[in-house]
Amino acid sequence: MIAPKLENKSDDLLDIKKSQLEISDNKGIYETETELEGEVEVRNEISVVNSKSDNEITSQCTESSNQNLVKPILLCAMVSFGGFLLGWDIGTIGGIVNMPSFQENFGNTLSLETGTNYFTETTKGLIVAIFNLAALVGGITIPRVSSFWGRKIGMHISAVTYFVGILIQIIPNNNWIQFLVGRIIAGIAVGSYTVLVPMYVSESSPVKIRGSMIALYQLIITLAIVLGNLLNYFCKTYITDIHNNNTWRIPISLGLLWVAFVFIGVFFVPESPQFLAKVKYDEIGAKKSLSIMNGVPEDNILIKILLDDMFNESIERPNKTKKRFEFITGEPKLGLRLFIGVFVMGIQQLSGINYFFYYGTSIFNKVGIQNPYLTAIILSSVNFFGTCWSIYFIEFFGRRGCLIIGATGMMLSLTIFSSIASFGMHLKSTGVIMIISTCVYVLFFATTLGPASFVLISELYPIKTRVTSISICSGFNWLMNFLVSFLTPIITKHIGYKFGYIFVGSLVVGIIFDIFMLPETKGRSENEINEYYRKK
């Protein structure tokens, strides 16, 4: 294979590589003596800097220039708004399928007692869960486009796909199959966002706040859940005609507005610098993108360090034969890393979080709580405010620490919930204890396990297999989400609240796995993580 040209910089970069080999044993940092020699010496310094952690690189560079992070944070938030589409579905669909107008319009079974249509538990579970199965497909397919055309193109394709899916759902009809098709198309789009957004933010955000910026994606999801619950509550409360289709059509239609924000916002962000450097070999474009996303001028030493780190790897890779299943058989231990990511994302769903967010309205309705829609608002609010703190906790406790602490807290609180709901229905305070234990459970998820899972898998893989590995991890997450959301109404019909013990068991397994298998990726560069697995 012929090595690609790097904007007429290939000869210079090859010379840099030779000079790096000559000074590889030198642990010092050369000082710039003249402006002419300074450019060469900055390049030479990279061989030393590349072995340092992200935090060391950042602290070294702050002496030369202070970063203005306002614009990078806003740009990351703009991209992370893609998570709003997922949160909006979680926050609305559980309440929508229980609305009388929705069941009357789409219900596939006629009640002989009331003469109205309704859904069987299997059909209701399918309407909710099919979105997740479609997201699995979307997370594996559309992101593949981003490997060739860029992350921005992938996000734009996803936005158009989502727009079509929402239109199909709100077109006046009485056929629940058509509504199902619309959810499938919208789900494909949202599934791709769960891969593309964390990937883009991980590749583009400033090094020292990378974990916080990925957590911001989770925060936006939780904000959408809260607003979705609120809109369901207001539509159910203030549209007095229970047969008015606007009670469910308004929440779904607003998806068109949200996806318009996403589509337009992506135009204002630069392409991922890692994609430009390591895939397109575009040094000029990568330098510009790094400058924008790190809040420093293009001639800043930080840009020189990060850029050379990217191109060093891209010089070596064209000379290596690409393996067909490199994401499994590749080194260092890419198969093990894939297994860890798949397990972590599976446990995130098998923790039972969407047992509450999808079916919280039904769960608390059964214990006599008068307005379960209000309870859903309480839980989603706890989720949102907890996620605000996660931005701090993820950097303080680290990714591994958050996952262990979160799973432990969720396991204990869910045990209390399942026990009191299964064996304490005769107690007057049962409903209150259930709500409190659920709030504690959601708080642990929001501050730790939920966002930390996304952060970990976005940092765990090298760019050569990142799209494939994150897509597989995300796909498994969606598969588990589908199983939980589809089986919940069916299983709870037979064993009731004892269903919660299944999630308790999953969390126990997750805690053991996290303790013995998880690496800590906080503050580590891609090269450092690779070196960790070479020694493992």
pLDDT given for residue 304 in this prediction:
87
pLDDT given for residue 57 in this prediction:
52
Three-state SS at 109 = strand
pLDDT given for residue 15 in this prediction:
45
Whichever domain contains 480, its CATH number is: 1.20.1250.20
Same domain, 279 and 384: no
CB atoms within 10 A of CB 257: 9
Integer distance in angstroms from the first to the last C-alpha of the chain? Answer: 32
Same domain, 304 and 336: no
Q: Which residues pair with 118 in a beta bridge?
A: 109
266-312, pLDDT tens digit by residue?
A: 999 999 998 888 888 888 888 999 999 988 998 888 888 888 877 76
Greater model confidence, 92 or 314: 92
Reported confidence tier of residue 389, pLDDT bands at 50, 70, 90: very high
Greater model confidence, 45 or 350: 350
- Percent of the chain past pLDDT 90, that is, above it, reads 48
Tokens encoding 161: 């796909």
> What number is the average pLDDT over the span 199-211?
85
Same domain, 262 and 277: no
Measured CA to CA in angstroms, residue 171 lies from 168, 179, 190, 260, 400 at distances of 6, 9, 20, 18, 46
The residue segments making up the domain with residue 228 are 71-111+119-269+327-535
Same domain, 227 and 294: no
Same domain, 254 and 277: no
Same domain, 42 and 142: no
Quick check: is 107 in a domain? Answer: yes
Quick check: is 63 in a domain? Answer: no
Q: In this structure, what is the dihedral angle of CA atoms 131, 157, 459, 265, given to the nearest 10 degrees?
A: -110
425-466, pLDDT tens digit by residue?
A: 888 888 889 989 999 999 999 999 999 998 899 889 988 898
Does 80 score more than 90 pLDDT? yes
Quick check: is 61 in a domain? Answer: no
240-251, pLDDT tens digit by residue?
A: 887 899 999 999
Greater model confidence, 373 or 89: 89
> What number is the average pLDDT over the span 487-491?
89
As a whole number of angstroms, the distance between CA 236 and CA 128 comes to 19
pLDDT given for residue 198 in this prediction:
87
Greater model confidence, 158 or 122: 158
What pTM does this model have? Answer: 0.77
Quick check: is 57 in a domain? Answer: no
The packing angle between helices 450-459 and 210-238, to 10°, is 140
Quick check: is 3 in a domain? Answer: no
pLDDT given for residue 522 in this prediction:
87
Give the Cα-Cα-Cα angle 455, 457, 461 (nearest 5 degrees).
125
pLDDT given for residue 229 in this prediction:
92
90-138, pLDDT tens digit by residue?
A: 999 988 988 888 988 888 777 767 767 778 888 888 998 999 999 999 9
Same domain, 305 and 228: no
pLDDT given for residue 34 in this prediction:
37
As a whole number of angstroms, the distance between CA 252 and CA 258 comes to 11
Reported confidence tier of residue 469, pLDDT bands at 50, 70, 90: very high
Does 87 score more than 80 pLDDT? yes
Same domain, 299 and 426: no
Pinpoint the alpha helices (H) of 50-111.
54-61, 70-80, 83-96, 100-106
Does 477 score more than 80 pLDDT? yes
361-380, pLDDT tens digit by residue?
A: 777 777 666 677 888 898 99
The packing angle between helices 372-423 and 210-238, to 10°, is 100
Does 11 score more than 50 pLDDT? no
Average pLDDT along the chain: 83
Quick check: is 440 in a domain? Answer: yes
Nearest C-alpha neighbor of 90 from the set 217, 253, 232, 236: 232
150 conformational bin, left if phi > 0, alpha if psi -120 to 50, beta if neither: left
Which of 179-193, 208-222, 362-376, 489-503 is predicted with the least confidence, judged by mean pLDDT? 362-376
Same domain, 265 and 278: no
Quick check: is 393 in a domain? Answer: yes
Does 385 score more than 80 pLDDT? yes
Quick check: is 2 in a domain? Answer: no
**How many structural domains is the chain composed of?**
2
Same domain, 292 and 277: yes
Does 201 score more than 70 pLDDT? yes
